[in-house]
Amino acid sequence: MRYQSISKEMYIRNRAKLVKKLKPGSLAIVNSNDEMPRTGDQTHIFRQNSDMFYLTGLDQEKCVLTLCPDHPVESMREILFTVQTNDLMVTWNGHKYTIDEVQVVSGIQNVKWIDDFEITLRDLMSRVQVVYLNQNEYPKFMTEVPLRDARFAVKMRQDFPVHSYERLAPFVTELRMVKEPEEILQLQRACDLTNDGFRRVLKFVKPGRKEYEIEAEFSHEFIRKGGAGHAYPPIIASGANACILHYNTNANLCNDGDLLLMDVGAEYGNYAADMTRTIPVNGKFSPRQRQVYEAVLRVLKAATSMLKPGTTNEKWHGEVCKIMEKELIGLGLISNDDLKNQSSASPAFFKYYMHGTGHFLGLDVHDVGSRQVVFETGMVMTCEPAIYIPAEGIGIRLENDIMVAEEPENLMAGIPIEPDEIERWMAG
């Protein structure tokens, strides 16, 4: 394993918290992710279902977790099923978990081979009335590919039609939003790798570099330091590309006089960092570039100070937009008359700042949690204000990862962001 794993005690606590939310006489089932096919005989690199990882720490396919807290036999109250390996499988695909290893990683004592799942499931189902099934309930997520949890739900309703079925995701979502101390440490490690990558890139960027060359510098540093690579497809956007919010072709030339927007984050131990920095390709901001940059930076600092318990993402964003309006007026991009004539459906700032101020962060880069959830200490949010001026070829976004607290904690405090510091690093 390339990363430092979390102690099993955290996963034991996570399962205990979940069990307290289940109805009496119930069973909860969580599946690992599939190995996703690529083409020919290839599969994409495996990435564990975040809910499974949160509850067990297991980073392997073909695993199933069952929680049946009221089972009369204590050893049957939590079971982990995993694939049984043989010499041929090991020769071709490498090591898989042994039963002892599953116990050490997860803290689950009753570990069975996946071949025993069907018969064991029938025993569990005979003792419960309610079954909690898991699924990906991220509101904006749509896919034509049925995930393992979704396929499993269909099969369960066919095989056991007279049971009552309920959603597990709301409970796991509620738990995952507030990070355990061990999770904050993993997030900090992901942020530290991102810091290392950024400092490497500051020495590398100059006119004539290709965007993908810069992406490769980040990749090199992330993997060299024990990360899995990028937590999401990186955005390396020079010049006008910086005004394309989800640009990730990363194929263009970085030209003298352009800005370079880089939205990147390392993944460490399945936890995601999410950073954006915007730098001058030639190492020196023009007066106008610096003016816009400093406006975004002021908004970032003000927005960060607001990430305290008691507010919501929706309210927070609303307050940040008021600050953004003042900055846009100062930049000559909108006027007070524009504010007087704007509508709620078409606010004046939206022409230059058209996305949210941040999102939840954790095991997924767009982690679980809604815009109406009340912030609590221990939640982690990105903070990413921006100003996009396509007519001037300027797109500037700045983003840090912040732990919600009475005194918000910037997990990216060590990453250069002040314009003078950026220029010093690039000159050195």
Answer yes or no: are the C-beta atoms of 302 and 317 closer than 8 Å: no
38 an active-site residue? no
Q: Which of 263, 327, 367, 401 is catalytic?
A: 263
353 an active-site residue? no
359 an active-site residue? yes
CA 28 to chain centre: 25
Q: Which of 13, 199, 355, 371 is catalytic?
A: 355
The count of C-alpha atoms lying within 13 angstroms of the C-alpha of 301, restricted to the half-sphere facing its C-beta, is 7
388 an active-site residue? yes
182 an active-site residue? no
Closest of 226, 168, 215 to residue 4, by C-alpha: 226
- 9 in helix, strand or coil? helix
Alpha helices in 205-358 (DSSP H): 211-224, 287-305, 313-330, 336-341
Q: Which of 71, 397, 401, 423 is catalytic?
A: 397
How far is residue 13's CA from residue 107's CA, in Å, rounded to a whole number? 10
263 an active-site residue? yes
Q: Which of 325, 359, 401, 423 is catalytic?
A: 359
* Angular region, 11: left φ>0, alpha ψ -120 to 50, beta rest: alpha
Q: Which of 100, 144, 246, 407 is catalytic?
A: 246
Kindly state the tokens that stand for 77.
């109250």
Q: Which of 196, 384, 401, 423 is catalytic?
A: 384
397 an active-site residue? yes
Distances (CA, A) of 394 to 81, 204, 237, 282, 418: 53, 21, 11, 15, 18
317 an active-site residue? no
The count of C-alpha atoms lying within 13 angstroms of the C-alpha of 32, restricted to the half-sphere facing its C-beta, is 21
Q: Which of 267, 399, 401, 423 is catalytic?
A: 399
Distances (CA, A) of 366 to 19, 139, 231, 361, 382: 25, 11, 10, 6, 9
Q: Which of 11, 97, 268, 388 is catalytic?
A: 388
217 an active-site residue? no
230 an active-site residue? no
Answer yes or no: are the C-beta atoms of 32 and 54 closer than 8 Å: no
376 an active-site residue? no
Residues classed as catalytic:
41, 246, 263, 274, 355, 359, 366, 384, 388, 397, 399
